[in-house]
Each structure stands twice: as structure tokens, then as C-alpha cells.
Amino acid sequence: MKKFTMALLVFSCLSIPTGSEASSPIQSIIDTTPAGGTVEIEAGEYEETIVIDKPLIIVGKGDVLLRSCEKEPVVTIAGEGVKIKNITVEHCGEEEKDTAVSITGSHHLLDGMKIETRRFGIMLVEANDVTVQNSELKGRNRGNGIDLWKSNQNQIENVKVTNVTDGIYLEQSHENVLSKNSLENSRYGMHLMYSNQNVLQENSSTSNITGAMLMETDKTSVRHNMFEANKSNVNAQGLLLYEAYNTEVIENEIRGNRVGVYIEKAEKNQLVSNKIIDNFIGVQFKNANENKISQNTFIGNVNEAQAIESSANKVDNNYWDAASLVDMDGDGKSEIPYHADPYFLTLTKSVPEYQLFFQAPGLILLQNLLKSPDDQLLTDSAPLMEMSLTVEKETTSRVGLWVMSILMIIASTSVFILGRKRK
């Protein structure tokens, strides 16, 4: 394979500026390079849009910025086997459908890209087997970061997406793998609609309205992800399943969200071995049946679980930090079933001011006296005695603790002594 190295700056200076060639130096090189060739772009800023529709390798040498405010995407990729590396792409158009990078066809690769957009970042339309990796994408919360439509078997790996509508959006797209991505400050981190057999693994979705939203999906695998601090919006949650079926939610960490996992009209999903920690509501069910919730660790949630109009869910062997447990036969499981009671939630819904009484002894007494309606309880038939997962809890440093205690002792004794003297 021949390698074409082009010193673009020199090229554009030498050539006589005629017609479109002068205003689009990169495109003219792309057009003259035969399929299978390599185009190297010298460092610099280029104000143009490019179209690549044959197998080419495009590599940025140093800081290459491609910028355009036109209606067309800055980079349009079609056909097969296009590879683009180390290029910064900026689209400054404000129109609703403006897109920085548009991809159709198959077997493409985007590596080491930096993308800035005011609307959409990367749009895949009927594109298959495309890899987007080691890249960064930043938007203005007015369009999706990576948008897949009818696109299958694509890999999105190690991409950092911030400030977009949906970080990665899939519609009618199947068997895609999203791994090790970071999604922040967006509406939904990952949003799947009518898409089946996709894999979400080792992603981190934080400070979004919803960490991941699965709607009308089948056989999605959600493993080893981190859904954290999705809490600033009144409708926020870590993970939302709506009409999702056969989803495997395994070994994720769901921490500090408004609602950890919200499940509505969803059936036959598995929620296994997750850490569900410090959420306002750990797990919330609505019209959700035949789901399995097992071996999860629930710690520090204000309300552990609520189930509305939900039945036939298999809930067992979870660790609940609020449960009273008795293990008589030594099998590590309590003989007393645990009812996760959303009493506090029911109470504060009608009178929000009662939140002041959280964990007040009177309230705990009340909760034991007046249980929530049975149809709202989620019952673990055999809760675990010990947590099965190691959980790192914030611990105050030892020195700090000593200093604090000594100060307290001095303060209290001085009050005691001074008070006596006055008498």
C-alpha cells in the first residue's frame, strides 16, 4: 500500500487559488488519494467540511482543527473502512440537526478525536461495525453526543461525553457495545430505545438527570457500571427501566442518586450483586413484575425500596443495613424476612416538612406501629447477615477523631467547673 504524505500548508500556498479547491484543501487531497491510501494533515486550523466515501486513513499530525458552521457535517463518512485519527472537529452551527461527524456504511474507526458541537456530536445512521474510541466530545446540552439510528454491532469505548442531551443514544440499534465511557452533565447518560442485546459495561455516568435509561429494550446487559450523583433534577435517577425485558443489571455501583433504580412496566429483569448506596430511594418499582432482585447490598439509602402495584418479583439474599436479622441455622441468611417499608416516603409525600424527623425515634416507632400498605412493601424472604460485597465507607481520620474528643472533653469540663464557681 502506498503512503501519500501531503504537506497541506505548502500545497495550499503553491496551488493557484481557483474555485472550490482553494477553500477546501483537505477535500481536494482526499479526492486525489486512491482508496487505501493515507492522508496526513499538518497541524493547523482548517475552515472546511470534508466528505470521505472510500477506504482512507486520515491522520492529524499535531493539533489539527477542522471547523465549520455550515449546514453540512464537518466530517461526513460513508462507504467502508474509513479511519480517522487525532483530529479536533468543531461544528458551530446552531440549527437543530447540525452535526459534527456523520457516519454511514461500515467498518470505520474514529480514534483520538476531540469533538465540539452546539447540537449533535457523532451521528451514526444505518452504520455497522464502527468503532469510536479514546475520544472526547463536548456539547451545549442541545443535541445528543453519539446518536445511533438503526446501527448495529458498533463499539464505543473510552469516550468522554459532557454537556449534551443524551450522552449515547441508541434507537433501533442492536448488539452494540458501550464500554469504559464517561458521561457527565447531560440529560440521560445512556439512552436506549427499541434496541436489543446491547452491552453497557464499565461506564461511568454521573451528574446527569438519569444515568442510563432503557426503554422498550430486550436482553440488555448492564455490568460493572458506576451510576453516581444523578440527583440534581427532581426526576433524577441512576438507572431507569421502562418496558425493558430480560435485562441483566449485575455488579454495578449505584451511589448517591435521587432514585437508584426505577423500574416500571418491566418484566423478567435481573438485578444482582449491585451496590446500592446512599440514594434517596434505593429501588422503586411500579407495575413491574417477575423481576429478580438478589445479592445486592443496600446501605445508607434514605428509603430502601418501594413497590407500587408490583407482584411476583423474586427478592432474596440481599443485604439491607436497616434490617433486624436472626440467623438460627448458621447459613448466613436471616430467618426473619425483611420488609423494606417506604413509610417515610409515604409520610413525607403528603407533608414534606416531616423530612426533619428522618430517623427520629418517634418516627421509627410510628413506622413499626403503622406499616405502609402491603402492596407497597418489598419483602426479602431471606436477607443476608453480612454484606457480600466490600463497601468503602467514608471514615474520619483517627487523629481528627482524637482532637475532636479532647476538645469536647475540655469544653464540657470547663462548663462544669465555671458553672460551679459562679455558685
Partner 1 sequence: MKKTFLRLFGLVGLILLLAACGNEEVKPVEINESTDTCEVCNMMVANDQHATQIALESGRTLVFDDLGCMYEWLDGHAEEKIAAEFVRDYHNKEWVLVDEATFVYNQSVKTPMAYNVISFKDKQTAEEFAAEHEGSTVMTATELAEHSWERNQEMMMKNKMEHHSHDQAEGMDHSGETENVDPQTEESDSSHGEDTH
Helices and strands of the chain, counted as H and E runs: 6, 38
For residue 327, count CB atoms less than 10 angstroms from its CB and return exposed for 0-12, middle for 13-18, buried for 19 or more: middle
DSSP string, 334-385: -SS-EEE-THHHHHHHH-GGGGGGTT-HHHHHHHHHSPPPGGG-EEESS-BS
Strand partners, 248: 221, 270
Residue placing its CB nearer to partner 1 in the complex, 88 or 210: 210
Distance between alpha carbon 284 and the CA centroid of its chain, in Å? Answer: 19
One residue of 169, 245, 298, 319 binding partner 1 per CB under 8 A: 245
One residue of 234, 328, 399, 417 binding partner 1 per CB under 8 A: 234
> At its nearest, how many Å lie between partner 1 and the CB of residue 243?
8
One residue of 11, 194, 280, 354 binding partner 1 per CB under 8 A: 194
One residue of 242, 280, 354, 357 binding partner 1 per CB under 8 A: 242
Residue placing its CB nearer to partner 1 in the complex, 202 or 243: 243
Residue placing its CB nearer to partner 1 in the complex, 240 or 277: 240
48 binding partner 1? (CB under 8 A):
no
Distance between CA atoms of 404 and 398, rounded to whole angstroms? 10
Question: Judged by CB under 8 A, which stretch of 129-137, 210-218, 331-339, 353-361 contacts partner 1?
Answer: 210-218
Q: Which of residues 52-81 bind partner 1 (CB under 8 A)?
A: none
287 binding partner 1? (CB under 8 A):
no
Residue placing its CB nearer to partner 1 in the complex, 50 or 213: 213
Handedness of CA 83, 89, 93, 95 (dihedral sign): positive
Distance between CA atoms of 203 and 121, rounded to whole angstroms? 19
One residue of 69, 109, 193, 389 binding partner 1 per CB under 8 A: 193
For residue 107, count CB atoms less than 10 angstroms from its CB and return exposed for 0-12, middle for 13-18, buried for 19 or more: middle
233 binding partner 1? (CB under 8 A):
yes
> At its nearest, how many Å lie between partner 1 and the CB of residue 68?
24
125 binding partner 1? (CB under 8 A):
no
129 binding partner 1? (CB under 8 A):
no
Distance between CA atoms of 366 and 285, rounded to whole angstroms? 24
One residue of 196, 201, 257, 348 binding partner 1 per CB under 8 A: 196
276 binding partner 1? (CB under 8 A):
no
Residue placing its CB nearer to partner 1 in the complex, 64 or 127: 127
> At its nearest, how many Å lie between partner 1 and the CB of residue 266?
11
Q: What are φ and ψ of residue 171, in 5° steps?
A: -130, 125
Question: Judged by CB under 8 A, which stretch of 100-108, 234-242, 308-316, 365-373 contacts partner 1?
Answer: 234-242
Residue placing its CB nearer to partner 1 in the complex, 78 or 193: 193
Question: Judged by CB under 8 A, which stretch of 227-235, 273-281, 315-323, 406-414 contacts partner 1?
Answer: 227-235
3-state secondary structure 97-121: CCEEEEEEEECCEEECCEEEECCEE
Strand partners, 14: none
312 Rama sector, left if φ>0, alpha if ψ -120 to 50, beta otherwise: left
Distance between CA atoms of 159 and 84, rounded to whole angstroms? 15
Distance between CA atoms of 266 and 277, rounded to whole angstroms? 23
> At its nearest, how many Å lie between partner 1 and the CB of residue 320?
26
Considering only CA atoms, which of 265, 261, 267 is closest in space to residue 247? 267
172 binding partner 1? (CB under 8 A):
yes
216 binding partner 1? (CB under 8 A):
yes
218 binding partner 1? (CB under 8 A):
yes
235 binding partner 1? (CB under 8 A):
yes
How many residues bind partner 1 (CB under 8 A)? The answer is 19
Residue placing its CB nearer to partner 1 in the complex, 236 or 340: 236
Torsion of CA 149, 70, 66, 123, to 10 degrees: 0
Here the cell at position 2 is 502506498
Could you give the angle at the alpha carbon of 333 between the alpha carbons of 330 and 338, nearest 5°? 140
> Residue numbers of the site for partner 1 (CB under 8 A)?
171-172, 187, 193-194, 196, 209, 213, 215-216, 218, 233-235, 240, 242, 245, 262, 264
